[in-house]
Structure 1
């Protein structure tokens, strides 16, 4: 089996401040990525959600990682239905945005020509990763208000059309997608479109939580994202860092249970990616190391440069 375990982000402020992962003197962007890639075979790029990715950064990431290293990269927030502040758009495009008095814009607010240009620039920016064989999944984490209603399903299908030829992973944040009435139809939709069902481990009980649905919908990739199980911080307001939401340290017993489930699901897909998103301080890195050991020979370990 082909299982890669890594973390969401390698530059979280709380990780760097903790001084428990990077060795002394490892302070530059280049040094941190090179060190991270010596420890794990995959990473998730989170910055591309907050702002459009940069092609020049993609080139640098290719140069600074081993040949078999993989990047999963998040889709820009406008594409996933999130509110997007005007200053998050490329500077040269900001004057062309609709002057409707709104501080934040949604996908429906943006004219078709601007949307098309954003998609073009996004795909152009990640092309260096793709050309180098280092692009894994493009991860679409849809907003909590993107429901299983037909109009929202049409938007997900629209994104799938644009991303044709790429591996598109879908993570929903509205429980309607996987309630008793819609689970079967959601999985059928994902299979029909070749979308990767993102299997999550996260706090349950809120409207923006979905259950762990251990199903493979694209036989080329299974994707598991572990968000932790901290109910108190899942919907925290005004956090000083996004990672405060995911402040959770998995126990060895919890990781052992997850390892068994991951090994079972990995038998159904050509490749399996496991991303630890409990990225407060060094929790994700420590848990990822432990999980890699628990997965045994199924897990890929980095090749020394």
Structure 2
């Protein structure tokens, strides 16, 4: 099974036919899965989690991103008195998704400075223990995890601890980016497509609009065909392949995802009622 979606539902103007408050409903008429990326910046309230669950069809799925303090991205002081308290709040916020049968997995994306060393391997196991009741997908951003000496060990580690592998497509610009390794380590595999904006990946800038630079990319048909081949390889290894387009900043993600769906010949069932289809042409 292949599911296709986008990272977040708020930045895809081509999908909306309703007011801003109904964007998730509009989104769920097109795709069966979404990445809840706002959970990275702040742990969602149970009220919001419950609201999003109610707004989506019964079989809709969320890939919930791990909070930035879990992954070591947090700059500045913690909002919590202890790591234990922080993890407890995070568990409480995502439990409604699991109880509703709408939690695909938790995405634990580590930063580019999270290298393949013993202490970091041990920390992954700590995160797994803290979130033991949830399925975890691990995304690395430092090349050391996939070096010629350590790649097999990395994949064996994920497999032995029943952790989903996150396969990434991103610019290859040094240690702060990882190669596309089409290998599943469990029954599910997550594919995140970040685009191939080499300049933006290397020079995102320090202003608040850095994401608009880094993820500005439009996949062409040849590139999507190459990714299709990789996804079909993964389909033979895992029961479920979740593909998320993260090239959001220029409005290309939804169009690329629709084209990719058409290339694969997939029709998603159980979507919300669709009032119109803006994507008949594709690429």
Is the TM value for this pair above 0.5? yes
Q: What residue is the counterpart of 1:84 in the other structure?
A: 75
Tell me the C-alpha RMSD between the 2 structures: 1.6
Task: Tell me how far 1:163 sits from its aligned partner.
Answer: 1.7
Matched, 1:234 2:234: no
Q: Which runs of 4+ in 1 moved over 4 A?
A: none
Matched, 1:284 2:253: yes
CA distance in 2: counterparts of 1:44 and 1:301, whole angstroms: 19
Alignment gaps of 5+ in structure 1: 97-113
Query: Which of the numbers 8, 27, 31 marks the counterpart of 2:19?
Result: 27
CA distance in 2: counterparts of 1:126 and 1:239, whole angstroms: 28
Q: What residue is the counterpart of 1:202 in the other structure?
A: 170
CA distance in 1: counterparts of 2:144 and 2:272, whole angstroms: 45
Higher relative contact order (CA 8 A, sep 6+): 1
Q: Secondary structure at the match of 1:160?
A: helix
Task: Tell me how far 1:291 sits from its aligned partner.
Answer: 0.6
TM-score (norm 1): 0.85
Task: Tell me how far 1:20 sits from its aligned partner.
Answer: 3.4
- Residue 6 of structure 2 contacts residue 245 of structure 2 at CA under 8 Å; is this kept in 1? yes
Matched, 1:66 2:57: yes
Query: Which of the numbers 221, 224, 236 marks the counterpart of 1:267?
Result: 236
CA distance in 1: counterparts of 2:165 and 2:125, whole angstroms: 14
Task: Tell me how far 1:239 sits from its aligned partner.
Answer: 4.7
Task: Tell me how far 1:241 sits from its aligned partner.
Answer: 5.3
Q: What residue is the counterpart of 1:40 in the other structure?
A: 31
* Deviations, residues 193-237 of structure 1 (Å, cap 9, x unaligned): 11111000000022110111111101x201111000110101311
Q: What residue is the counterpart of 2:280 in the other structure?
A: none
Count of aligned residue pairs for this structure pair: 271
Q: What residue is the counterpart of 1:168 in the other structure?
A: 136
Alignment gaps of 5+ in structure 2: 274-283
Task: Tell me how far 1:304 sits from its aligned partner.
Answer: 4.2
Matched, 1:157 2:156: no
* Deviations, residues 53-96 of structure 1 (Å, cap 9, x unaligned): 2211110011000001000010011111113333x62xxx4xx4
CA distance in 2: counterparts of 1:254 and 1:137, whole angstroms: 27
CA distance in 1: counterparts of 2:210 and 2:102, whole angstroms: 28
Q: What residue is the counterpart of 1:103 in the other structure?
A: none
* Deviations, residues 171-191 of structure 1 (Å, cap 9, x unaligned): 001110001111011011101
Q: What residue is the counterpart of 1:54 in the other structure?
A: 45
Query: Which of the numbers 139, 161, 168 marks the counterpart of 1:193?
Result: 161
